[in-house]
Amino acid sequence: MTSSATNYLTPWSLCFYRDGTEDIAVILAADGEELVYSRPFWLPEGNDPIPPTLAALRLMAAAPKLLVALIAAADWIDTQTGQPRTEIQAVIREAIAEATSVTLPL
């Protein structure tokens, strides 16, 4: 794979702070730098539904690991000589390109 390596200061972690009665989520880089703050929301308790803000922040915090998995999957698919590339390869490459700003050839 020819995507350029970028230092995203991983792993990222998701932390929560209480601001009065509301919660604020923060995504931290590996060095403790604050990358993203959420809007105020309430952390769910018991059987409460997961707020969209929390769901989105969990996905953002997992993004570096997901990118590594996608790159590994794309590399593996590239080694499957004689196998036709599937639709999934195009989806993987599109996600990698969006995450890295590098368009990869099919």
Specify the number of domains making up the chain. 1
Long-range contacts for 38-47 (Cβ within 8 Å, ≥24 apart)? Answer: 43/16
**8 in any annotated domain:** no
Q: Per the confidence metrics, is the pTM higher than 0.75?
A: no
Task: Calculate the alpha carbon distances from 60 to 57, 82, 95 in Å.
Answer: 5, 36, 14
d(CA 1, CA 41): 40
**74 in any annotated domain:** yes
**5 in any annotated domain:** no
Strand partners, 41: 23
Residue 54, domain extent: 13-100
How many CA within 13 A on the CB side of residue 34? 9
Residues 71-104: tens digit of each pLDDT:
888 888 878 766 666 777 777 878 877 776 667 6
**6 in any annotated domain:** no
Residues 27-77: tens digit of each pLDDT:
999 999 999 999 999 999 999 998 999 989 988 998 888 888 888 888 888
**2 in any annotated domain:** no
- Kindly report the backbone phi and psi dihedral angles of residue 33, in degrees, each rounded to the nearest multiple of 5, phi listed first: -65, 135
